[in-house]
A and B are shown apart, each in its own frame.
Chain A
Amino acid sequence: MSVLLDVSGLERRFAGARGMGDMIARRPRPVVHALSGVSLQVQDGETLGIVGESGCGKSTLARCMVRLIEPDAGRIVFDGQDVLALDGPARRGFNRAVQMVFQDPYASLNPRKTVHATLAEALRVHRIVPEAGIAARVLELLDLVQLPASAAGRHPHEFSGGQRQRIGIARALSVQPRLIIADEPVSALDVSVQAQIVNLFMDLQRRLGLTLVFITHDLRLVRHMAHRVAVMYLGRVVETGPVAEIFAAPRHPYTQALLRAVPQMTPRELRGEPAVSGELPSPLAPPPGCAFHPRCPVAEARCARELPALERRGGGWPVACLRAGG
């Protein structure tokens, strides 16, 4: 397997709001560190799950990968091309190859366009099929996401959340991408519908040979559908590797805590201890050293000073913890 998307050292800061009082006191504008050096690889044909709590930078990472947000530093290489340097036709080629499915199926469809108009526009702009073939291709796309042909003439408000998400997936598929980045695509849906959409993603991935980056806060989804996983904490990847191995023997204390927090079906597996104490620190003022040390059960004095790099540390996959491996 080859690396399709290689992200290294990605950083992105956002300027926070500054009140009148701050300006008078000449306090500097607060800065949110959304991404503080994210590195990860996506292999061709795999599903990579990215997990983390709200506010850990997952969505910012997703939007950087499709260039909706420009990172402040770092590199993104897609299929040998430097993504951040792409311009003009090359950038449109990248747009064709890398598509996104959004979290909110209500806001991500233009309410004034019919399903046919939405899909046909993408087909036309990228000249995927000749004009005469557009109607037929739209029906194929609807069939691919298991929507009836009658859906083509209707507007988004006539569909349920799950059906709208299928339309969003059809729109992403319309340009025949190689990589789809799905940013929490099921977290806005009912649980019963979540399973259908997840299965649709898995089915499409197999049938079309897609590469999928699936961003979620739900570890059960990652275990169900991903081949590899990257665990994010406060703007960094803290552990990444094959799903089966990491779920069996997590090495980073944060991953261990997350896995303990997954609801269990059998009482035998229930544990009394809390998954992880405290809340995610503010990204306005990330703790020094390892960002997880204030909540970490095994933290030592050096964890507050040294920033652990994402390295193998004697194990089978990279982990960013000073106490892992040795």
Chain B
Amino acid sequence: MRAKIPLAIGCLLLAVMLAFAAVPGWFTPYDPLEFDFGALMAPPSAAHVFGTDQFGRDILSRTIAAARVDLQIAVFAMLGPLLIGGLIGLMVGWFGGVADAVFGRLADLVVTFPFLVLVIAVVAVLGPGLINMYIAVACVGWVVYARLMRGEVRVQSAADYVAAGRVLGYSTTRILFGHVLPNAIRPVLVYAVTDMALAILLGSSLGYLGLGAQPPEAEWGVLIADGKNFFTTAPWISLAPGIAIVMAGLGFSLVGDGLAALLDVKR
């Protein structure tokens, strides 16, 4: 029961983020794009809880409006690596042999480079933008999923219930997708939820560097980058998006850990 409290907190945080992303208009006190020249870089006050930026735009409204882009990043930057890596891991874990050896060396090669540096390199080649960022993350991030999946598949395929399926004359497809995959996928799914926290941080990092979401799109990393020029005079500009990143990251992490405990299959 105690283990479910963090899961509940995580779900609550994500629910708030989802609500922001679904209907930002219900929560934003001001139009996030409206300039207010009467309140340029206003510090936090009753009217503007998190202050305003250099154009007088309400920081809280802009942060809430950005949730949609950031959650989209969390989902798509996780989904690509999950699908590609998961499928590769399933195949090399089951068939082994030469493909497995080639995969092992390739995976070693990819993890040699720091994750962010490699993503930035790929984005630099493809050009900045969200779509290219997803492609870059998929190119680099699949390795972790593939390794995780491969290890689980190897453990599961050695179990006697797989042998029983073969003795019963089941097809390889049936054994692989009906028996091995459902038993091997749990740690991969748990990791995927936790990975969404990292994806938001990555999206924000790239946004901050100008390689991810592009300025008219409000994104938390971009918002923080907006504030960096005024950090000594108006530090509040970066505060609300910073809090939002922490909250979303915490939410995904707590839900990931909670799911790990919840999905633990009894043997």
Interface residues of chain A, those whose CB is within 8 Å of chain B, are 63, 66, 68, 91-92, 95-96, 98-100, 102-104, 106-113, 121-122, 125-126, 155-157, 168, 171, 175
Contacts and interface: CB of A to CB of B under 8 A. Distances in A.
Contacts of A109: 161, 164
Nearest to A108: B160
A10 B207 CA distance: 66
Given A107-B161, A108-B161, 18 more contacts: A63-B163, A95-B167, A95-B169, A98-B167, A99-B167, A102-B160, A104-B160, A108-B163, A111-B161, A111-B183, A111-B265, A112-B182, A112-B265, A113-B179, A121-B178, A155-B266, A157-B265, A168-B164
A112 B169 contact: no
How big is the B interface, by class?
Answer: 10 to 19
Contacts of B170: 121, 125
19 contacts: A63-B163, A95-B168, A99-B167, A104-B160, A107-B160, A107-B161, A108-B159, A108-B160, A108-B161, A108-B163, A108-B164, A111-B161, A112-B182, A112-B183, A112-B265, A121-B170, A155-B266, A157-B265, A171-B164
A91 B161 CA distance: 19
Interface in B130-171: 159-161, 163-164, 166-170
Nearest to B175: A110
Given A107-B161, A112-B182, A112-B183, A68 B267 contact: no
Contact of B168 (A112, A122, A156, A157): A122
B174 interface: yes
Residue from B160, B166, B179 with most neighbouring chain A CB atoms (10 Å): B160
B164 A102 contact: yes
Contacts of B168: 95, 99, 122, 125-126, 171, 175
B163 A96 contact: no
Contacts of A175: 168
A156 B164 CA distance: 15
Given A112-B182, A112-B183, A106 B167 contact: no
Task: Give 9 nearest A-B pairs by CB, closest first.
Answer: A95-B169, A157-B266, A108-B160, A92-B169, A107-B160, A110-B161, A102-B160, A100-B167, A107-B159
Residue from A63, A125, A168 with most neighbouring chain B CB atoms (10 Å): A125
Contacts of B164: 100, 102, 108-109, 168, 171
